[in-house]
Structure 1
Amino acid sequence: MKTLYVSHQGCYLSLRQESVLIKRGETILDQVQLPLLEQILIFGQSQVTTQVIRACLQRNIAIAYLSRMGKCYGRVLSITQGYRQLSRYQQLLSPELQLQTARIIVQAKLKNSRVILMRQQRRRASEQTALAIESLAYLVQQAGEAVSIARLMGLEGAGAASYFSAFGECLSGAGFVFLARSRRPPGNPVNAMLSFGYQVLWNHLLTLIELQGLDPYWGCLHQGHDRHAALASDLIEEFRSSIVDSLVLYLVNRGLVSADDDFEYHDGGCYLNQSGRRKFLQAFVQRMEESVEEQPRWNLLSQQVRAYKQFVYDPSCLYSPYLIR
Structure 2
Amino acid sequence: MQKHIYIYNDGTLERKDNTVRFILKDGTKRVIPIETVETIFVFGEVSLNKRVLEFFNQKGVLLHFFNRYGFYSGSFYPRERLNNGLILLKQVEHYLDYSKRLYLAKKFTEGGFKNIVKLLKDYLRKQKPSESLRNTLELIKLRLEELNSAQTVEEVMQIEAKARKEYYSSWNFLINNEGFYFEKREKKPPTNPINALISFGNSLLYVAILSQIYRTYLDPRIGYLHETNRRSFSLNLDLAEVFKPIIVDRVIFSLINKGLIKEDQHFEEEIGKTYLNQVGRKIFVKHFEEKLATTFKHNKLGKVSYKRLLRLECYKLYKHLLGEESYKPFVG
TM-score strictly above 0.5: yes
Matches within 5 A, 1:1-325: 1-8=2-9, 10-24=10-24, 25-28=26-29, 31-80=31-80, 85-93=86-94, 94-124=97-127, 125-293=129-297, 294-314=303-323, 317-324=325-332
Among all aligned residue pairs of Structure 1 and Structure 2, give the percentage whose two residues are the same amino acid: 25
* Structure 2 unaligned spans of 5+: 298-302
- C-alpha RMSD of matched pairs (Å): 1.9
Query: Aligned equivalents of 2:283 and 2:51: distance in 1?
Result: 30
Most deviating of 45-54 and 104-113: 45-54
Instruction: Give the aligned residue type for 1:246.
Output: R
- Contact 1:290–1:296 under 8 Å retained in 2: yes
- In structure 2, C-alpha distance between the alignment counterparts of 1:18 and 1:117, rounded to whole Å: 49
Q: CA deviation at 1:97?
A: 1.7
The CA distance in 1 between the partners of 2:75 and 2:158, in whole Å, is: 31
Residues in 2 aligned to 1:139 and 1:166: alpha-carbon distance in whole angstroms: 15
Q: Residue 48 of structure 1: CA displacement?
A: 3.0
The answer (yes or no) to whether the contact 2:216–2:314 under 8 Å persists in 1 is yes
Residue type of the partner of 2:181?
V
Q: Which residue of 1 aligns with 2:300?
A: none
Asked if the contact 1:69–1:196 (Cα under 8 Å) also holds between the matched residues in 2, the reply is: no
Deviations 1:28-47 (A, max 9, x none): 4x543111111111114122
Task: Tell me the TM-score normalised to structure 1 length.
Answer: 0.92
Point out where structure 1 has 5 or more consecutive residues left out of the alignment: none
**TM-score, normalised relative to structure 2:** 0.91
Amino acid of the structure 1 residue aligned with 2:290:
Q
Tell me the amino acid that sits aligned with residue 144 of structure 1: N
Provide, for residues 266-302 of structure 1, a one-character-per-residue CA deviation record: whole Å limited to 9, x for no partner: 1311100111111111111111111122111110100
Asked if 1 retains the 8 angstrom alpha-carbon contact of 2:70 and 2:275, the reply is: no
Number of residue pairs the alignment of both structures matches: 321
How far apart are 1:138 and its partner, in Å?
1.1
